[in-house]
Amino acid sequence: MAVCLRRKYLIGSAAFLVFAGLGLWALFLFLHKPIGVIDRPFKLTDAEGRVFDSKELQGKPSLVYFGFTHCPDICPTTLFLLAQALKKLGPDASRINALFITVDPDRDTPEQLKTSLAAYDPHLRGLTGDPAQLASIRDIYGIEANILPGTGKNYNIDHTDTVFVLDKNGRVQSSFDLHASSDEVVALLETVMQAR
């Protein structure tokens, strides 16, 4: 009787582990599902007032981050991380598109982007544009951005904190957030730059 119960216990435990393992694997695949090539064309305006065409995502790797310049904590921390990584890349930083796409077009004018991003790294290119177009681009990347209650122009935005790493074909290869180290980001970028 004890042997039989032990066998049932072992079989039940093994089945649980198998299903749990399959569940975790499915979750991993879901969370790491590649976005693929960003082939929905778009045009935005950079901090210099120039047009940024999505075709520019082709030809060299890119860092793509969505945020806003009035962010009190997460965005500045992430931008500082990107600036550290770009600085460590040295001359190779010019081989990367480093894009900051605003989730706050009402306040993030080209002039505002230029002033704010100048404090971090000259390779960072701020992009803004029509709210509908920006919403469409956020949808491509799965970015959430919700304005929190505030007074007038004094409001905060709850948004997805993810930096995407694209290869030279515009395909998302990896992502990270503010908890990554600058050395980890550099390693990611070097791998993507070396890929054919």
Same domain as 8, residue 73 = no
- Between the alpha carbon of residue 67 and those of residues 38, 91, 100, the distances in Å are 19, 26, 7
Per-residue model confidence as pLDDT tens digits over 170-188 = 999 999 999 999 999 999 9
Same domain as 21, residue 101 = no
What is the percent of the chain with per-residue pLDDT over 90, rounded to a whole number?
Answer: 71
Same domain as 48, residue 28 = no
Same domain as 77, residue 9 = no
48 located within any domain? yes
Report pTM. 0.80
Same domain as 5, residue 93 = no
Q: Is the pLDDT of residue 149 over 90?
A: no
What total number of domains does the chain contain?
A: 2
6 located within any domain? yes
97, β-bridge pairs: 62
Same domain as 86, residue 24 = no
**Total residues belonging to the chain:** 196
Dihedral of alpha carbons 104, 109, 110, 112, sign: negative
Contact 192, 173 (CB under 8 A): yes
Confidence band of 161 (pLDDT split at 50, 70, 90): very high
Same domain as 50, residue 10 = no
Residues 6+ apart with CB under 8 A from 56: 97
Same domain as 179, residue 132 = yes
Same domain as 168, residue 77 = yes
Confidence band of 24 (pLDDT split at 50, 70, 90): very low
Q: Is the pLDDT of residue 52 over 80?
A: yes
Rounded to whole angstroms, how far apart are CA atoms 28 and 46?
Answer: 35
Quote the domain boundaries for residue 22.
1-33
90 located within any domain? yes
Per-residue model confidence as pLDDT tens digits over 9-18 = 545 554 444 4
38 located within any domain? no
89 located within any domain? yes
Same domain as 140, residue 56 = yes
Same domain as 126, residue 54 = yes
Same domain as 109, residue 147 = yes
Confidence band of 36 (pLDDT split at 50, 70, 90): low
CATH number at residue 105: 3.40.30.10
Q: For position 195, what pLDDT does the model report? A: 81
Per-residue model confidence as pLDDT tens digits over 115-125 = 999 999 999 99
Per-residue model confidence as pLDDT tens digits over 74-113 = 999 999 999 999 999 999 999 999 999 999 999 999 999 9
22 located within any domain? yes
163 located within any domain? yes
Confidence band of 37 (pLDDT split at 50, 70, 90): low
Confidence band of 23 (pLDDT split at 50, 70, 90): very low
